[in-house]
């Protein structure tokens, strides 16, 4: 978990009393492992039907040895071991194997497997206990997913969301939990209400901490789902792309501006900014599927948003320059983006996107230009983009060649 020092943990292991206790636990663990594997081998090697009295009484072994163990014994053993250490995947595999063994059709009837015969609550209780020991146990989260597949009860799935909220309260960046939460969302039927609640959940988590990359990533996955909740089934292609532009503007004005103005040196919101710009970019084939005037409206909405971003980021950089001149940023770590490295990169992204959009949508003007010439109205943007790269070369000298390469790309038509 974040904030725990590995050195402190290792130092505790060097204490003689602790080392002795761990050695004893290791012996006990090895004994349980041996018993588990032995019992599993006996069970799986047993004939499909119970042995007859003649088989038991033959000279091939006594009755106790011929009788295979029950799956419940192996379930008890795996539970005992997993509550101590929830990480070994092979233990969870054996547990699932035994659970499926219990619900397989009997040899005397043509019944189908009955998932309802599984004690799902017992599996959820076990994984909850294991996750308390290790909230980032891959195997525990996977087994919980596997268990959830056997139920379609909304109340149970919603309780899973509550559990996720508890774990994210403990560690807001637990990507395993964010991933599991997304899995549960996909299973719920009432998608519109749920997605809206999830959207609000990420908003609150991001506002609590603008560095929460897992929350931003989860939000990026929800964007398209939220868009669907705002559209009718009969919405046209034009209405869909209007909705995309509207949502992109909302994300900029209500989420990203707060984040980048509050923490301009934090890379996390700048990643989401890049994602939103790319998501809002009209696809290249859209022009072929819309009327010319409808397509131009979409492009104008997109470019208006970029111009708004450009103005805000220029204002941010001016404020940061004033702070730097007044000595208010001396303690900032340049390796984390001090001197507004990420703001310059964000501004360069916006200007580059504007240039590309204007070039792609100025066909008539471009036909009258020679190779390497720029359409009218873009010269100032080119100068601004180059200025950004020059500043980045000063701030981030180790990537000077990359910025030189980006400068050459500006002039490509």
CA distance 227 to 222: 9
The mean per-residue pLDDT over the stretch 254-264 comes to 95
Asked if residue 192 lies in contact with residue 229, where contact means CB atoms within 8 angstroms, the answer is yes
Q: Convert the pLDDT of each residue in 191-227 to its tens digit.
A: 577 889 999 999 999 999 999 999 999 999 999 989 9
Q: Convert the pLDDT of each residue in 6-59 to its tens digit.
A: 666 566 667 778 788 888 889 999 999 999 999 999 999 887 655 444 444 444
Buried b (16+ CB within 10 A) or exposed e, 53-69: eeebeeeeeeeeebebb
Helices (H), 58-119: 63-66, 71-82, 89-103
CA distance 91 to 36: 9
Asked if residue 203 lies in contact with residue 255, where contact means CB atoms within 8 angstroms, the answer is yes
CA distance 314 to 109: 75
The token pair at 374 is 């720029």
CA distance 189 to 182: 13
Asked if residue 244 lies in contact with residue 279, where contact means CB atoms within 8 angstroms, the answer is yes
Mean per-residue pLDDT over the chain, rounded: 84
> Per-domain residue ranges for the chain?
231-324+337-412
What whole-number percentage of the chain has pLDDT above 70? Answer: 79
CB atoms within 10 A of CB 142: 17
Helices (H), 149-283: 154-170, 175-187, 191-208, 213-230, 237-251, 257-262, 267-280
CB atoms within 10 A of CB 351: 27
DSSP state of 254: I
Question: Taking 80 as the threshold, does the pLDDT of residue 168 lie above it?
Answer: yes
The token pair at 357 is 């959009």
Q: What is the CA radius of gyration of the chain?
A: 30
CA distance 216 to 209: 10
| 339 pLDDT tier (thresholds 50, 70, 90) | confident
Q: Convert the pLDDT of each residue in 122-147 to its tens digit.
A: 999 999 999 999 999 999 999 999 99
Asked if residue 162 lies in contact with residue 169, where contact means CB atoms within 8 angstroms, the answer is no
pTM: 0.69
């Amino acid at each position: 978990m974040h904030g725990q020092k590995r050195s402190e943990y290792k130092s505790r292991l060097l204490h003689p009393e602790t080392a002795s206790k761990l050695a004893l636990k290791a012996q006990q663990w090895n004994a349980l492992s041996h018993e588990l594997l032995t019992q599993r081998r006996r069970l799986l090697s047993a004939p499909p039907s119970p042995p007859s009295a003649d088989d038991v009484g033959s000279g091939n072994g006594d009755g106790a040895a011929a009788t295979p163990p029950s799956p419940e014994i192996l379930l008890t053993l795996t539970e005992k071991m997993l509550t101590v250490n929830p990480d070994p995947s092979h233990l969870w595999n054996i547990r699932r194997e035994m659970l499926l063994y219990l619900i397989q059709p009997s040899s005397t009837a043509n019944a189908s497997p009955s998932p309802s015969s599984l004690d799902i609550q017992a599996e959820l209780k076990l994984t909850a206990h294991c996750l308390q020991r290790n909230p980032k146990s891959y195997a525990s989260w996977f087994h919980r997913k596997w268990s959830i597949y056997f139920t379609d009860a909304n109340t149970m799935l919603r309780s899973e969301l509550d559990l996720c909220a508890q774990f994210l309260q403990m560690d807001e960046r637990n990507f395993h939990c964010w991933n599991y939460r997304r899995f549960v969302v996909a299973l719920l039927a009432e998608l519109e209400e749920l997605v809206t609640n999830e959207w609000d959940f990420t908003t609150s988590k991001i506002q609590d901490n603008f560095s929460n990359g897992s929350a931003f990533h989860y939000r990026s996955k929800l964007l398209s789902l939220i868009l669907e909740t705002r559209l009718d089934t009969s919405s046209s292609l034009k209405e869909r792309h209007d909705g995309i532009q509207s949502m992109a503007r909302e994300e900029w004005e209500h989420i990203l501006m707060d984040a980048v103005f509050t923490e301009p040196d934090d890379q996390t919101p700048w990643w989401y900014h890049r994602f939103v710009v790319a998501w809002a970019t009209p696809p290249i084939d859209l022009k072929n599927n819309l009327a010319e005037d409808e397509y131009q409206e979409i492009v104008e909405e997109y470019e208006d948003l970029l111009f708004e971003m450009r103005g805000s980021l220029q204002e941010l950089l001016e404020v940061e320059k004033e702070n730097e001149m007044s000595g208010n940023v001396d303690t900032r770590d340049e390796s984390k983006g001090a001197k507004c490295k990420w703001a310059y990169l964000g501004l360069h992204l916006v200007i580059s996107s504007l240039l590309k959009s204007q070039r792609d949508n100025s066909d008539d003007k471009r036909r009258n230009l020679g190779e390497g010439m720029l359409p009218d109205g873009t010269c100032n943007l080119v100068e601004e983009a180059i200025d950004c790269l020059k500043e980045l070369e000063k701030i981030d000298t180790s990537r000077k060649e990359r910025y030189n390469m980006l400068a050459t790309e500006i002039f490509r038509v």
